[in-house]
Amino acid sequence: MRDGFLGFRTSFMLDFVVVALVVVVPILLYSLAAAKFQKRFPLHRNLQLLLAAVLLVAVLAFEVDLHYIQGGWRNVVAKRDPPFTSEEMAFVQRMLGIHLVFAISTPILWALTLTLALTKFPNPPVPNAHSRWHKPLGWASALVLTATSITGLMFYYTAFVRGAN
Ligand code: HEM
């Protein structure tokens, strides 16, 4: 049985969120370049809002699917053939722990960066006194999202792809 559309024993939503995590990184890079080099701040704002909306929808759908429909990642992993040894299971669990550190801090930092930017920059947005806060917050938000994406893909690979038939 191959439930995910990427060809592994996962689920449609799990594969969907994996694709979303890959797609958001180039859009993020483009949006940061629009602010830093092209000074196209309205485009940068719109892309950041779009990214936040896409991520919110993808992650909510993913959480509902994984926890309520699939019964948790252990259930998904249980479909593996051959099954994991207890050492392999412990390794996968460590990978998930690392991923969750980034996956939990990302929405918190993004919500803070977005709310402050939307309230402290004028409309249309241009640099002002808030730039002092927005630049470090923005870079930190971009970094944790990238780390969420990379560690999420590493978890997906170790839990669902590596060594499975
Ligand atoms: C989570 C969402 C966001 C992230 C991750 C983000 C990230 C960044 C980063 C890293 C920079 C600095 C680029 C550089 O080093 O020159 C920047 C600049 C800027 N961003 Fe954002 N941004 C976000 C949302 C927004 C929003 C919603 C607005 C407008 C309401 C906005 C307006 C600006 C402006 C005006 C600058 C230029 C600041 C300056 O050069 O002084 N950003 N953003």
Q: Compute, in angstroms, the gap from residue 60 CA to the centroid of ligand 1.
A: 25
The tens digit of pLDDT for each residue in 20-51 reads 988 999 999 999 999 999 999 999 999 999 99
Q: Compute, in angstroms, the gap from residue 62 CA to the centroid of ligand 1.
A: 28
Question: How far is the C-alpha of 26 from the C-alpha of 24, rounded, in Å?
Answer: 6
DSSP 120-165: HS-SS----TTHHHHHHHHHHHHHHHHHHHHHHHHHHIIIIITT--
| 82: preceding bond cis by omega (within 30 degrees) | yes
Q: Compute, in angstroms, the gap from residue 47 CA to the centroid of ligand 1.
A: 11
The tens digit of pLDDT for each residue in 45-104 reads 999 999 999 999 988 988 898 888 888 889 888 888 889 999 999 999 999 999 999 999
The tens digit of pLDDT for each residue in 123-161 reads 999 999 999 999 999 999 999 999 999 999 999 999 988
- pLDDT computed for residue 2 by the predictor: 57
